[in-house]
Amino acid sequence: MPVDDFESILSTAYPITYSCYYSLDEYNQITRSYIGAFKDPKVILFNVMRNARLIDDTIYFWLKLFHTDTSNFTSDYEHYNYWYKMGSYSGLILYLTLYNFGYT
């Protein structure tokens, strides 16, 4: 029946629309948090002091990966993995520095 088909379409579209809405809402919250960190330098100082060990470890592994000789890569997977890790480490540094971890 057409009604059952339409209901099936709506039931499969709901998770997609919900996840899109939630990701936009989450992006909005994170953006506001990062902008708030830029407005108040004490938040950045607090986060750097609170997460100094984690930031130091992340920068160490980021630099170690940065100095990797990529000309020896033989597959697309190695290139993909390299750039995936570079993006992950860069994002983690931003997260540890700018995200508000409770400083008010």
Contact between residue 98 and residue 47 where contact means Cβ atoms under 8 Å apart: yes
Contact between residue 97 and residue 33 where contact means Cβ atoms under 8 Å apart: no
Residue 98: the pLDDT is 83
Residue 83: the pLDDT is 94
Residue 29: the pLDDT is 87
State pLDDT tens for residues 4-59: 676 677 677 767 777 777 788 888 888 888 888 888 888 888 888 999 999 999 99
pLDDT band at 104 (very low <50, low <70, confident <90, very high): low
Residue 10: the pLDDT is 67
CA 32/CA 39 separation, integer angstroms: 10
User: Which pTM was predicted?
Assistant: 0.67
Virtual CA dihedral for 39, 63, 90, 44, nearest 10 degrees? -20
Residue 25: the pLDDT is 84
State pLDDT tens for residues 70-88: 888 989 999 999 999 999 9
CA 25/CA 8 separation, integer angstroms: 26
Helix axes 52-66, 41-50, angle to 10 degrees: 80
- List the chain domain ranges: 2-98
Q: Which amino acid is at 61?
A: F
